[in-house]
A and B are shown apart, each in its own frame.
Chain A
Amino acid sequence: MSLLSVHGVTKTFGGISANRGITFDVASGELVGIIGPNGAGKSTLFECISGFYAPDAGEIALDGARLNRLSPDRVCRLGVARTFQKLRPFSGMTVVENVMVGALTRTKNVKHAREQAHEWLRRVGLVEKANAHARTLSTGQRKRLEMARALATQPRVVLLDEVTGGVDQRSIPGLVELVRELHAGGLTVLLIEHNMRVVTAVAKRILALHMGELIADGPPELVARDRRVVEAYLGQAYVA
């Protein structure tokens, strides 16, 4: 049974189709990696699902409820949370307050929200930074903060955009482990990832986008050998 269904999603900017007729389903508890070269339309797809862009055509539904044409805050309250590729912490607030904003979407009680926020910070390994200002965090810590904040909204599906992008090499294994743990806890995850090693390490299914189109959908070993995927990444000369 599919939890998130994306059907025929098309989004154009001027003459450029950033997404063209993208269709796939994600079952509850799945972890799906999304790969593709720069400009393939990965982030646009996330923007469409999370309500920041209205698709020109197509349908997006969560558990049968239509998401497209809803505002981003409604989409979040229905159960789809996201992180941003370009990190956007609330820099003037403390780390725990950042996460409280997420938690307050589900509880009206500020004290409960603070407790929940501490719990999420513990899970992502940031609890000792709880009272620090968000602007003092390193990039890797900010990635963790964004995840904690998104997860505090208690999503059914979480969209993670470039978890390891811009992070120093030593922090990558910890972040990968975190994504794996969250998934093991039953969370449904869509993961945009540039780093093939990361994505093949965590995802059992990969979607490959190229020039706005979905060109492959399957287990990592098959997608990595797919002729069109290799062509998109490395150019025609490498197609065996």
Chain B
Amino acid sequence: MKTFAAAIVFFAAAGLAPLFVRDAFFLDTLVLMLVWGCAAGAWNIAGGYAGQISLGHATFFGLGAYAAALCGVRWNISPWYGVAIGAALAMAAGTVIGFLSNRLRGPYFVIATIAVSQILLIGASRWRGFTAGSEGIPVPFRPGFWTLGIADKRLWVWIVLGLALLVYLVQAYLERSRRGFQLAAVREDEDAALSLGVPARRLKVVAIAVSAAFTAICGAFWAQYVGFVDPVYVFSLDLSVRFSLAAIIGGLGTALGPFLGAVLVTMVETWLRAELGGLGSNLIGMYLILYGVALILMVRFAPQGIVGWARQR
């Protein structure tokens, strides 16, 4: 109940902030925090609730980003179709990867997910005629809600907040529902869950597919917001790590955790880039080292994440 109240405060603050703060840098950071929060929450559905740790969720993010961008560039149709197409493609890819999870457990599954994202990275970089290859695609800006050409960052905050609420509710459902208990059992001990009649295989596939679909929607929104899709970024291991890291720092298998984790990760990263980045700096990649250090400290001292740690107080 306490975490539910915390969630209301969190989302209300995010929703109301644009009414009072007009600073473009602040709003930009807020949009990105929410996008990464949604992606981390989506990752948490598979990684946290179902226990299927993936380091290839960039696969789905990239599919969504490309679907939205290509709808505008190649077919001149609304990126909203891209959102739907990206989600559908990611769901299909998630189903395939879900079936893999029934064959491969633990580290083997993790490696397989990385491999899939790398295959798409190479595919998108080489298929010049369609994806424009490794040069990337600038997403055309056509003003309007239907074309997702929105200059007002406040509007973006609210659009992404809508998605965030949806992702939060799906996770909250997994915390207290029948399917949630069954998934938790699968995560704890798959064979024991099977022996109690839990359709473990089907549940894992569905969890991964749903997780994939939400990740793709994040990718599509992100592409429209940022305005440029680059295969080396959207299919990168970096991005996959970012989603999982935010979820782990926030609290695996908690509904609010991934959002809090994303806020923290984004804040630290933005600050470090501003402090240490810039022309001629030798410390531009410093934030990656800090990612690693943060993860080690987290796993050592608060393996249940921020939310798990707060619950124990």
Please give the residue numbers on chain A whose beta carbons come within 8 Å of chain B beta carbons, in ascending order.
50-52, 71-73, 76-77, 81-82, 84, 88-93, 97, 100-102, 104-105, 108-110, 113, 149-150, 152-153
B191:A88 contact, CB within 8 angstroms: yes
On chain A, the residues within 8 Å of B196 by CB distance are 73, 76, 81, 101-102, 105, 149-150, 152-153
B194:A100 contact, CB within 8 angstroms: no
On chain B, the residues within 8 Å of A52 by CB distance are 191, 194-195
Per the bound structure, the CA–CA distance linking A76 and B177 in Å amounts to: 21
Per the bound structure, the CA–CA distance linking A10 and B181 in Å amounts to: 36
Per the bound structure, the CA–CA distance linking A73 and B193 in Å amounts to: 8
On chain B, the residues within 8 Å of A77 by CB distance are 197
On chain B, the residues within 8 Å of A149 by CB distance are 196
Per the bound structure, the CA–CA distance linking A73 and B191 in Å amounts to: 9
B192:A100 contact, CB within 8 angstroms: no
Report the tally of A-B residue pairs with Cβ distances under 8 A.
80
Closest beta carbon of chain A to B172's beta carbon, Å: 13
As a 0/1 sequence over residues 182 to 208 of chain B, the CB contacts with chain A under 8 angstroms (1 = contact) are 101100110111111111110000000
B195:A84 contact, CB within 8 angstroms: yes
A72:B194 contact, CB within 8 angstroms: yes
B74 contacts A by Cβ under 8 Å? no
Per the bound structure, the CA–CA distance linking A149 and B184 in Å amounts to: 15
Prevailing SS type, chain B contact patch: helix
CB within 8 Å for A101 and B201 given contacts A108-B178, A110-B178: no
Q: How many chain B residues have a CB neighbour from A under 8 Å?
A: 20
CB within 8 Å for A50 and B188 given contacts A104-B181, A110-B176, A110-B177: no
Closest beta carbon of chain A to B197's beta carbon, Å: 3
A104:B178 contact, CB within 8 angstroms: yes
CB within 8 Å for A110 and B181 given contacts A52-B191, A92-B188: yes
A73:B181 contact, CB within 8 angstroms: no
Interface centre among A50, A92, A152 (most CB of B within 10 A): A92
On chain B, the residues within 8 Å of A84 by CB distance are 191-192, 195
What 19 new A-B contacts, CB under 8 Å, besides A72-B191, A92-B184, A105-B198? A73-B195, A73-B197, A81-B196, A81-B197, A88-B189, A88-B192, A89-B189, A89-B192, A90-B188, A93-B184, A93-B188, A97-B181, A100-B181, A101-B182, A101-B184, A108-B178, A109-B178, A150-B196, A152-B196
On chain B, the residues within 8 Å of A89 by CB distance are 189, 192
B188:A73 contact, CB within 8 angstroms: no
Closest beta carbon of chain B to A153's beta carbon, Å: 5
Per the bound structure, the CA–CA distance linking A77 and B195 in Å amounts to: 9
On chain B, the residues within 8 Å of A91 by CB distance are 188
B193:A101 contact, CB within 8 angstroms: yes
